[in-house]
Structure 1
Amino acid sequence: MEKLSYKTFGEESSLNDDLGSMGILSDNACRFGALQEYIEHRLYGESIPEALKDGNLRGYCSSAQALPDYAEVLLHIKKKYPADSAPVVVFGGSYGGLRKVLAAWFRLKYPHIAPGALASSAPLQYDRPPRYPVDPVCKGIDSAPEGSDVLDKIFSGIVAYFREKPCYNLNAFFSAETVDGWTWRTCSELVMPIGRGNNDNMFLGF
């Protein structure tokens, strides 16, 4: 039987931002004898510098364009090794793993390439303490002074992660290409509701 293959779908940043942070892949690849593959999303990274600032190219950065890219790469790899019947598990963080986008959409659109593939999003991206935000932010919120209101607790979480500064520009946390790409994507093809539901939770009613 051919071995398992892990594929990571790049998202709204250079692939260099992801390498070394996807511990779930490297932790399990040896156990299953799996081949790990990291595929950068079109127009991010160093292949076409400044592409996302070019209005004539930006439209080619869509998820509808990216999915066939991934399919072509995976088919090429399966043919090269050869590994036609090797099971494939796809992973993605942020936009790369969002429900109905990229990793999740890919397993529905291309089941013949990645049969039974899985997609993962937030836990893969954010819940990897102590480097990633969830652990220090939650500790900061929990350590807010007694009697703090919601905004004060949120601010305590921001200070815990970014350290105390006279001014906080959250865009500084991301590369320029990530900000440019995400701004275009959320204005053109992705609906990203932010807020809270009627029951004082994170789930909005539709």
Structure 2
Amino acid sequence: MSSSAAGRWLSAASSPRAASGSFTAAGRCADGDVNGGGEQVRQQAGGHQRRLLLKEEALSSASTIGYFNSAQAMIDYAAVIIYVKKKLSAENSPVIVIGASYGGMLASWFQLKYPHIATGALASSAPILYFDDITPQDGYYSTVEKDFREASESCYETIRKSWSEIDRVAFEANGLSTLSKRFKTCNNLNNSVELKDYLSLTYTGAAQYNRPPNFQVTMVCRSIDGASEGTDILGRIYAGIVSYRGNRSCYNTTSSLTEISVGWKWQVNFIPSISSGQLPSINYGPKTKIVNEA
């Protein structure tokens, strides 16, 4: 939640219009300004007896990080909603919980678990059927693959062939250095999977957020297909990166650990469900090789 969103949400508690009905946002998957709103939240909650745990406290020990899970998130939402309704003398006001992606999962589960608190839920792009083998584990990546094939078969084929080409170059003498230069990585690649992970995130990001006016999948494929005649496979892939990431002085293929990335990995009830299983050819192909430079 951004600092501005946190302020708007907290300020809503003093709005008389909130008594007629409430909509509660249940979070989202994309990165947000978790830190920026911390001090504002602390100040506005200063009168509460229960102390807020911000990032430096919540992630510092096993005694607190254990609460970082979906069940606890729903318990917290329930407590906040009940408090706000009481504060506004709006106990009879209906509540609709809203969320997208992971937030949509929380919204759906919240309404099922707390029907006496939430009258309804609106969930967008919520993978709530990604459990108990209801959905194939490679379903997410198969959809990404389908998106690229529909945009351009030649683009899809270029991406599919790029994985073996990356491995081929990586196996050469000073191959990882060659790849680092060709893809303008901010740091020298430690292995071939580091580059593949970065490319995979590019393709899945383009597919997941494929929206107007840019339509990111089409934009990436247009650059891959539209590279000048004679451009090899890796050159075309690099053109796709530039179109999606922008023309940068270098591309950071290694993400540093932050409170967001560390905390997200604790959401184990969600992440393994879409990241395990065999990845289709839009990602790593039939087999994944880790090539380290000697």
Same fold (TM over 0.5): yes
Please name the residue that 2:245 is paired with. Answer: 162
Q: Distance in 2 between matches of 1:151 and 1:88?
A: 52
**1:114 matched to 2:197:** no
Are the aligned partners of 2:24 and 2:98 in contact in 1 as well (CA < 8 Å)?
A: yes
Is the Cα contact below 8 Å between 1:96 and 1:102 reproduced in 2? yes
- Partner residue in 2 for 1:179: 261
Q: What letter is aligned with 1:6?
A: F
The 1:116–1:136 alpha-carbon spacing in structure 2 relative to 1, beyond 3 Å, is same
Aligned twin of 2:274? 193
1:104 aligns with 2:104: no
Query: Is the 1:87–1:114 Cα contact (8 Å) retained in structure 2?
Result: yes
| Pair 1:63 & 2:63 matched | no
Report the AA paired with residue 3 of structure 1.
Answer: S
Q: TM-score, normalised by structure 1?
A: 0.58
Q: Secondary structure, in 3 states, of the residue corresponding to 2:255?
A: helix
CA-CA distance at 1:119 after TM superposition: 1.9
Match of 1:142 among 222, 227, 234: 222
Question: What residue in structure 2 maps to residue 33 of structure 1?
Answer: none
| C-alpha contact (below 8 Å) 1:12/1:182 kept by paired residues | no
What does the per-residue CA deviation read over 1:1-54, in whole Å, with 9 as the maximum and x for residues that have no partner?
x6231111235688646x9xxxxxxxxxxxxxxxxxxxxxxxxx9724253253
1:135 partner letter: F
The runs of 5 or more residues in structure 1 that have no matched partner are 20-44, 202-206
Check the 8 A contact 1:90/1:103 in 2, yes or no: yes
* Structure ranking higher in helix proportion: 2
Which one of the candidate residues 78, 87, 93 is aligned to 2:94? 87
Q: CA deviation at 1:177?
A: 1.3
Larger radius of gyration: 2
8 Å CA contact retained: 1:53, 1:180 = no
- Contact 1:141–1:153 (8 Å) recurs in 2: no
Q: In the TM superposition, what whole-angstrom CA distance separates every residue of 1:96-128 from its partner, at most 9, and x where no partner exists? A: 22xxx3111001111111112222247xx9467
Q: Which runs of 5 or more residues in structure 2 are unaligned? A: 1-18, 37-51, 127-207, 283-294
Q: Letter of the aligned partner of 1:85 in structure 2? A: N
Report how far residue 199 of structure 1 moved.
10
1:125-140 to structure 2, matched below 5 A, reads: 126=209, 135-136=215-216, 138-140=218-220
CA pair 102-150 structure 1, distance change in 2 beyond 3 A: farther
Contact 1:141 1:154 in 2 (8 A): no
Deviating beyond 4 angstroms after TM superposition, the runs of 4 or more aligned structure 1 residues are 11-15, 125-130, 146-157, 195-201
